[in-house]
Chains A and B, each alone.
Chain A
Amino acid sequence: MSSLIELENVSRQFGTQQVLRDITLSVETGKTLVLIGESGCGKSVTMKLMMNLLPPSSGTVLWDGRPVKDRTEKEIVRERLRFGYLFQGAALFDSLTVFENVAFGLRQNRRLHPKQISQTVHERLRDVGLDPAIVVDKKPAELSGGMRKRVGLARALAMDPEVMLYDEPTTGLDPIMSDVINELILRTRERCNVTSIVVTHDMNTVQKVADRVVMFYPLARLNPEDPQIIFDGAAEEAFESLDPRVSQFVRGEAGERLQELAIG
């Protein structure tokens, strides 16, 4: 199996706080990997490491089996365009209109006719369930949170990436729209064999899109010798897992962690 993105013994710390420890993970081409784990366990950081938006403190990130750090700056910039990233907070450019946001990557990297750009932008906006006529001239500040998220998704998809990284694609969306987005993730994958990495807290998304589920555990509550990846397998296995840390998480039960409430 070829893998587009691999992490080899990757660790990352911010100052004295260690967030990821010795993570080894490879993403198979054309498959959908779902990352779950509680808030603050380092899922977003992992995605940024995969895309080389952040360097690892130690360990190696590989694209197509070749370490990223062996590449020149130029190669990295070019190859990064194969990835699309939906940021957790959408990260829309707030000085630009919705249209310019979605067109940004195309304008920056492809020599296209304005008509082609406009057509792609409108298509992508419709894909994510937004009416282009209404939103294109708006500034991000004039949109609702869920709309911003979908514009962010349209912006990432506009570049027709080979790999899509979705950071919480359905958070802040209503149940119907969440399902639309889940369907979009599936369709994007089928259309051109896109490899997807999805970070989510939404178990519907897990059930619907995941080929493989990986669960991280926060280092702060882990013994120094235990691996940080506490589950790696198919979605059904996660729901049947005997490890209480996994089964309680996917079922949304607090279990003995309710006791933490008593502290306050």
Chain B
Amino acid sequence: MMKSQAAESQQLTFVHHLGQAVVGFVTLAGDLTLFGLRMASWIIPGWPRGNVLWPVMYQIGVLSLPVILITGGFIGMVLSVQAYEQFALMHMESQLGTVVNVTLLKELGPVLAAVMLAGRVGSAMAAQLGTMRVTEQIDALTALGANPVAYLVVPRFLACFLLIPLLTLFADGIGVLSGWWFSTQVLDVESFYYWHHSRRFVTSYDLLSGILKSVFFGTAISLIACHRGFHSRAGAEGVGQAATEAFVYSFVVILGIDFLLGYLLMELYPILWK
């Protein structure tokens, strides 16, 4: 018995593992899509009551503000530092505002805010729902006539869908200010030119692209976190794993969406923007 098992595992080649990984990935993606559709079908009939929605909104929105402001503040300053070096070489310091603000609004603001929130909000949601799964609270919801998807997933989705773009706007705002402050006060760029060039080259298309991305990021974070929580395995280890997976999967999906949308929005720019 032992022998045949050992022989079998030796026969598992790289191709087997690759196959398993592909099957695992496709199953997971399909599962997640079905989960999303199930959630979507409950948004209208299961619209959450205020006393269910507000605490979730508070958790996700208000309590995330500090980390979001810190994230935004540092991105603005880091971008100024990095871009300044390059621009100074070409004696184009006055153009600094353009690159700082475009990168911030279009790319780094939404992505880093989303990654921060995947860590803070996503893993917390996965851990909470995982605990509820493991301690049979999700079964208890069903037993008491509440649909767990409507009661647990819909409010979390709504909160992420609405608040993650809003939090991204906050991060953007603080980032713009901190970038300006650092560039003009520390790096001695002329404030007039900083804004002048920013205004010439930063369009609302950049801002809207960033916000559109963050809508997708918010959706992905909430669905992945709830899905991982719902399928948590038993025990503290299972719940911990659900939380970790929620973060890691969200991170990968955020990068994937960022790339796809970035590419798409670039191609669409001439069509959509005059």
Give A89 to B144 CA distance when docked, in angstroms. 16
Which residues from chain A contact B145 at a C-beta distance below 8 Å?
A: 77-78, 80-81, 105, 108-109
Interface size class of A (residues with CB under 8 A): 20 to 34
Give A94 to B141 CA distance when docked, in angstroms. 12
In the assembled complex, the CB of A97 is this many whole angstroms from the nearest CB of chain B, namely 12
Which residues from chain A contact B136 at a C-beta distance below 8 Å?
A: 87-89, 91
- Checking A83, A85, A95 against B140 with a beta-carbon cut-off of 8 angstroms, the contacting residue is A85
Q: Are B142 and A91 in contact (CB under 8 A)?
A: no
- Is there a chain B Cβ closer than 8 Å to A104's Cβ? yes
Query: Most chain-A CB neighbours within 10 Å: which of B142, B143, B146, B147?
Result: B143
- Checking B55, B131, B143 against A80 with a beta-carbon cut-off of 8 angstroms, the contacting residue is B143
Q: Are A48 and B139 in contact (CB under 8 A)?
A: yes
- Is there a chain A Cβ closer than 8 Å to B137's Cβ? yes
Give A53 to B137 CA distance when docked, in angstroms. 12
Q: Are A104 and B144 in contact (CB under 8 A)?
A: yes
- Checking A78, A85, A91 against B137 with a beta-carbon cut-off of 8 angstroms, the contacting residue is A91
Query: Most chain-A CB neighbours within 10 Å: which of B55, B132, B139, B147?
Result: B139
Q: Are B143 and A77 in contact (CB under 8 A)?
A: no
Contact with B along A32-74 (1 / 0, CB 8 A): 0000000000000000100101000000000000000000000
* CB closest chain-B residue, reference A155: B144
* CB closest chain-A residue, reference B136: A91
Which residues from chain A contact B137 at a C-beta distance below 8 Å?
A: 91-94
Interface size class of B (residues with CB under 8 A): 10 to 19
- Is there a chain B Cβ closer than 8 Å to A159's Cβ? yes
- Checking B55, B131, B141, B143 against A51 with a beta-carbon cut-off of 8 angstroms, the contacting residue is B143
Give A93 to B141 CA distance when docked, in angstroms. 9
- Is there a chain A Cβ closer than 8 Å to B191's Cβ? no
Which residues from chain B contact A91 at a C-beta distance below 8 Å?
A: 135-137, 139-140
Give A89 to B140 CA distance when docked, in angstroms. 11
* CB closest chain-A residue, reference B139: A53
Which residues from chain A contact B135 at a C-beta distance below 8 Å?
A: 89, 91, 94
Q: Are B139 and A105 in contact (CB under 8 A)?
A: no
- Checking B55, B132, B140 against A87 with a beta-carbon cut-off of 8 angstroms, the contacting residue is B140
Contact with B along A105-135 (1 / 0, CB 8 A): 1001100000000000000000000000000
Q: Are B144 and A53 in contact (CB under 8 A)?
A: no
Which residues from chain A contact B141 at a C-beta distance below 8 Å?
A: 93
Q: Are B146 and A108 in contact (CB under 8 A)?
A: yes
Q: Are B147 and A77 in contact (CB under 8 A)?
A: yes
Q: Are A80 and B146 in contact (CB under 8 A)?
A: no
Q: Which of B106-144 contact A (CB under 8 A)?
A: 131-132, 135-137, 139-144
Q: Which of A190-237 contact B (CB under 8 A)?
A: none
Give A78 to B144 CA distance when docked, in angstroms. 10
Which residues from chain A contact B131 at a C-beta distance below 8 Å?
A: 94
In the assembled complex, the CB of B148 is this many whole angstroms from the nearest CB of chain A, namely 11
Q: Are B143 and A83 in contact (CB under 8 A)?
A: yes
In the assembled complex, the CB of A16 is this many whole angstroms from the nearest CB of chain B, namely 14
Give A240 to B111 CA distance when docked, in angstroms. 71
Which residues from chain B contact A81 at a C-beta distance below 8 Å?
A: 144-145
Give A256 to B146 CA distance when docked, in angstroms. 47
Give A87 to B139 CA distance when docked, in angstroms. 9
Give A87 to B140 CA distance when docked, in angstroms. 8
* CB closest chain-B residue, reference A106: B144
Which residues from chain B contact A89 at a C-beta distance below 8 Å?
A: 135-136
Give A156 to B136 CA distance when docked, in angstroms. 14
In the assembled complex, the CB of B138 is this many whole angstroms from the nearest CB of chain A, namely 9
Q: Are B146 and A53 in contact (CB under 8 A)?
A: no
Give A155 to B140 CA distance when docked, in angstroms. 10
Which residues from chain A contact B147 at a C-beta distance below 8 Å?
A: 77
* CB closest chain-A residue, reference B141: A93
- Checking B55, B132, B143 against A85 with a beta-carbon cut-off of 8 angstroms, the contacting residue is B143
Which residues from chain B contact A159 at a C-beta distance below 8 Å?
A: 144
* CB closest chain-B residue, reference A94: B137
In the assembled complex, the CB of A181 is this many whole angstroms from the nearest CB of chain B, namely 19
In the assembled complex, the CB of B57 is this many whole angstroms from the nearest CB of chain A, namely 14
- Checking B55, B132, B143 against A53 with a beta-carbon cut-off of 8 angstroms, the contacting residue is B143
Contact with B along A133-158 (1 / 0, CB 8 A): 00000000000000000000001100
State the A residues within 8 Å of B (CB). 48, 51, 53, 77-78, 80-81, 83-85, 87-89, 91-95, 104-105, 108-109, 155-156, 159
Besides A91-B136, A94-B131, A95-B55, 19 more A-B contacts (Cβ < 8 Å) are A48-B139, A53-B142, A77-B145, A78-B145, A80-B142, A85-B143, A87-B136, A87-B143, A91-B137, A92-B137, A92-B140, A93-B132, A93-B137, A93-B141, A94-B137, A104-B144, A108-B144, A156-B143, A159-B144
17 A-B contacts, Cβ less than 8 Å apart?
A: A53-B143, A80-B142, A80-B143, A80-B145, A81-B144, A85-B140, A87-B136, A91-B135, A91-B139, A92-B137, A92-B140, A94-B135, A94-B137, A104-B144, A108-B144, A108-B146, A109-B145
Report, nearest first, the 9 A-B pairs whose CB atoms are least far apart.
A91-B136, A91-B140, A105-B144, A85-B143, A109-B145, A53-B139, A87-B136, A108-B146, A81-B145
